[in-house]
């Protein structure tokens, strides 16, 4: 298994180009199942999760070919060969469950493996299932699979989410595009990735209004057609590199990053003593003079501070002056990075959903173990500021969501390399 070796202590300086958003790309690719005509997606990131989604779609019968230009694919679901999403692929990537809504809407049936728990929490899919039942589907659980049927098609309905779910909003948004009549999604998630999906679906002929708000109205249509769509830049990659600049005390220009998508991050970093400004082609980030200041924050659905940047901001706060209280409200087990950061000298105490971080003057390099995607990258950030050598093991987690991370960071002066086994 590959590892990443980092020799810390170098302030980063230079430009990093932000790639297409993984969490926008995955639902957009699943949306190709809704139409018999090709969906061309541009600015797709070159990531393990994107390849897994392509593999899943191909076994459903989607033809996928390069569409000219980097990161451009044409996905054509002229004929659906199978409505089953097998355990082996769903287990590998939970976002596979996003084929459920499109398959049942297009074919009237779907059989999708239940994903099971993962490193950051139990992550049930009850909201996806309850929403499909509201749209008239019958759903049974059989042998570890969700078996959904809508023999006479789905019917529009009002769905009030009891809590905010990105994936359930995406699945039901896609399903409702082909349902008869009007669907209203109330208390919908409003992450930029959902807005991106809604815009793409409208380009395919869907009739969605309320885009960007927590109330989406979808007027069902008989069929969707082909379209061409460019994936938004990855706000979590953007936020991660914002923290890399802040942590190392350098200055980074994040080419293509969208400041409007990371406003909560900008506010948190501003309070910690980091300058974040809009540049002509992206965002510029640098630390003000002196040490970072500790800050308190809580993760929340968008537009709040993203859970996908909680581990990274915690790595930053380990070397801030004073204490920080970081509260995770989205996932119940997303502090797996804490014991690893502690191995590098961080002073962190976890009480339930909150972590009290008491800043230390410096971290020390150490061998550490990645447990999930965002935990892994927080260890890379910690390695960039630590004195001495850090080796991050189980790098395959990083490869799921960060494109060419060693190349991007080393181009800005970081001493980082991949050790291949």
Binding-site member from 43, 307, 310, 376 for ligand EPZ (CB under 6 A): 307
Residue 192 interacts with ligand EPZ (CB under 6 A)? Answer: no
| CB of residue 54 to ligand EPZ, shortest distance in Å | 15
**DSSP codes, 105-125:** HHHSEEEEE----BTTB----
8 Å CB contact between 21 and 15: no
Binding-site member from 241, 331, 335, 402 for ligand EPZ (CB under 6 A): 331
- Of 337 and 374, nearer to ligand EPZ (C-beta) is 374
Residue 28 interacts with ligand EPZ (CB under 6 A)? Answer: no
Q: Torsion angle of alpha carbons 25, 27, 32, 34, nearest 10°? A: -160
Residue 47 interacts with ligand EPZ (CB under 6 A)? Answer: no
- Of 308 and 403, nearer to ligand EPZ (C-beta) is 308
Which runs of E-coded beta strand occur in 211-313?
215-219, 227-230, 251-255, 274-279, 282-287, 297-298
Candidate segments 32-40, 121-129, 277-285, 309-317, binder of ligand EPZ by CB under 6 A: 121-129
> 3-state DSSP call for residue 410?
helix
Residue 167 interacts with ligand EPZ (CB under 6 A)? Answer: yes
C-alpha to C-alpha distance for 69 and 327, rounded to whole angstroms: 42
Residue 337 interacts with ligand EPZ (CB under 6 A)? Answer: no
Torsion-angle region of 282 (φ positive above 0: left; ψ -120 to 50: alpha; else: beta): left
Residue 126 interacts with ligand EPZ (CB under 6 A)? Answer: yes
Q: Which of 118, 200, 275, 412 is catalytic?
A: 118
> Exposed (0-12), middle (13-18) or buried (19+): which is 224, by Cβ within 10 Å?
buried
- 412: annotated active-site residue: no
8 Å CB contact between 273 and 293: yes
For 29, which DSSP code? H
| CB of residue 384 to ligand EPZ, shortest distance in Å | 20
Residue 26 interacts with ligand EPZ (CB under 6 A)? Answer: yes
Q: Which two tokens stand for residue 16?
A: 């990093």
Candidate segments 7-15, 124-132, 314-322, 390-398, binder of ligand EPZ by CB under 6 A: 124-132
Residue 125 interacts with ligand EPZ (CB under 6 A)? Answer: yes
Residue 127 interacts with ligand EPZ (CB under 6 A)? Answer: yes
Q: Is the peptide bond before 303 cis (omega within 30 degrees of 0)?
A: yes
Binding-site member from 111, 199, 337, 374 for ligand EPZ (CB under 6 A): 374
Binding-site member from 208, 330, 346, 409 for ligand EPZ (CB under 6 A): 330
The two beta strands, 39-42 and 73-76, are antiparallel
| CB of residue 345 to ligand EPZ, shortest distance in Å | 26
8 Å CB contact between 73 and 46: no
> 3-state DSSP call for residue 317?
helix
For 350, which DSSP code? E
- Of 37 and 263, nearer to ligand EPZ (C-beta) is 263
Which residues are part of the catalytic machinery? Answer: 118
Binding site for ligand EPZ (CB under 6 A): 23, 26, 94-95, 121, 123-128, 163, 165-168, 189, 307-308, 330-331, 373-374, 401
């Amino acid at each position: 298994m590959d590892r990443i070796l980092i020799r810390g202590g170098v302030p980063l300086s230079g430009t990093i180009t932000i790639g297409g958003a993984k969490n926008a790309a995955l639902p957009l690719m699943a949306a190709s199942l809704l139409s018999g005509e090709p969906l061309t997606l541009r600015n797709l990131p070159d990531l393990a999760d994107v390849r897994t989604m392509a593999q899943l779609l191909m076994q459903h019968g989607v033809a996928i070919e390069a569409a000219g230009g980097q990161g451009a694919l044409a996905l054509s679901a002229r004929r659906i060969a199978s409505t089953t999403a097998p355990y082996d692929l769903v287990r590998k990537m939970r976002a596979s469950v996003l084929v459920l809504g499109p398959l049942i809407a297009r074919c009237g049936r779907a059989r999708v493996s239940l994903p099971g728990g993962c490193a950051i929490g139990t992550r049930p899919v009850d909201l996806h299932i309850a929403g499909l039942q509201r749209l008239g589907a019958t759903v049974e659980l059989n042998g570890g699979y969700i078996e959904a049927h809508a023999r006479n098609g789905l019917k529009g309905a009002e769905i009030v989410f009891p809590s905010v779910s990105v994936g359930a909003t995406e699945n039901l948004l896609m399903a409702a595009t082909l349902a008869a009549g009007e669907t209203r999604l109330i208390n919908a998630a409003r992450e930029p990735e959902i807005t991106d999906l809604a815009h793409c679906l409208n380009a395919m002929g869907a009739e969605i209004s309320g885009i960007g708000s927590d109330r989406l109205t979808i007027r069902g249509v008989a069929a969707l057609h082909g379209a061409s769509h460019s994936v938004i830049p990855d706000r979590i990659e953007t936020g991660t590199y914002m923290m890399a600049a802040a942590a190392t005390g350098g200055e980074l220009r994040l080419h293509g990053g969208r400041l409007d998508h990371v406003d909560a991050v900008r506010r948190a970093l501003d309070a910690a003593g980091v300058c974040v400004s809009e540049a002509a082609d992206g965002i510029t980030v640098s630390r003000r003079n002196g040490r970072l200041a500790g800050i308190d924050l809580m993760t929340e659905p968008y537009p709040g501070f993203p859970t996908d940047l909680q581990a990274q901001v915690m790595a930053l706060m380990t070397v801030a002056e004073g204490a920080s209280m970081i509260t995770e409200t989205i996932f119940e087990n997303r502090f797996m990075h804490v014991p690893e950061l502690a191995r590098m000298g961080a002073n962190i105490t976890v009480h339930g959903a909150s972590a009290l971080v008491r800043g230390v003057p410096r971290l020390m390099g150490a061998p550490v173990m990645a447990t999930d995607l965002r935990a892994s990258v927080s260890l890379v950030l910690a390695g960039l500021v630590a004195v001495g050598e850090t080796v991050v093991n189980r790098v395959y987690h990083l490869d799921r969501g960060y494109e060419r991370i060693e190349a991007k960071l080393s181009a800005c002066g970081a001493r980082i390399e991949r050790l291949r086994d």
